[in-house]
Amino acid sequence: MRIRSSEFVLGAVNLRQLPRNGMKEVAFLGRSNVGKSSLINKLCSRKSLARQSSDPGKTRELNYYLINKEFYFVDLPGYGYARVPEQVRSSWGKLIEQYLKSRTQLSLVVQLVDARHEPTELDMLMVGWLDYYAIPFLVALTKADKLPVSKMPRYVDTARERFAGFEQCRDVVPFSALTGKGKADLVRIIAQHVTNGK
Ligand SMILES: Nc1nc2c(ncn2[C@@H]2O[C@H](COP(=O)(O)OP(=O)(O)OP(=O)(O)O)[C@@H](O)[C@H]2O)c(=O)[nH]1
Ligand SMILES: [Mg+2]
């Protein structure tokens, strides 16, 4: 599969606003500032399709992008941004959990984790939900260009071991929005989940 077209469709603040046409969805999940929008832009070979924030924690909507007029990418609101009030944080958590739990057309989640750091508690809580709700996911280790090449294999191995215990984990892929590293692997795995044998 090649990503030939991508367009912004809508930003939803609640689940009632989500598309009802049944097209498959791939959702991108990760803490605020981990690189979700940059990854979506890179996959789509676009400079500014998904809004990249200079102001972390700003993406509050579920942003829908129609890909190849065939399926959706969903940029989920980033979690874990410290300066967001507790009440707002818990309502985001509920929105994300409701979405994961109820969205039957959700075919794959790309869970983003910073390649240089240990996954956060919230990252592990999210993949726990994914396993619990039986949603296949793949882990993208973002900003891999910031890791010295010599350290890369050890970091990737550690992450693979960490996620190996999750039944729904399909793969762990180092990724860089700067260099495009990992893009081909991500597109290949996404294609396996959204196309019907094409
Ligand atoms: N070096 C490097 N920087 C990156 C990479 N991906 C993202 N960044 C930078 O990290 C910052 C956050 O990136 P975003 O793509 O806006 O992150 P996000 O997860 O969408 O953030 P929110 O929408 O606030 O949740 C930006 O300054 C990006 O330029 C990468 O692969 N390499
Ligand atoms: Mg974003």
pLDDT tens, position by position, 61-80: 899 999 999 999 999 988 87
Q: Which residues of the chain have pLDDT under 50?
A: 197
Measured in angstroms, how far is the CA atom of residue 32 from the centroid of ligand 1? 9
Nearest C-alpha neighbor of 112 from the set 72, 75, 161: 75
**63 in contact with ligand 1, CB cutoff 6 A:** no
**142 in contact with ligand 1, CB cutoff 6 A:** yes
* Amino acid 60: pLDDT: 74
* Amino acid 65: pLDDT: 96
Residue nearest to atom 13 of ligand 1 (CA): 35
* Amino acid 166: pLDDT: 97
* Amino acid 26: pLDDT: 98
Residue nearest to atom 32 of ligand 1 (CA): 143
- Who contacts 97 (Cβ-Cβ below 8 Å, separation ≥6)? 129
* Amino acid 94: pLDDT: 84
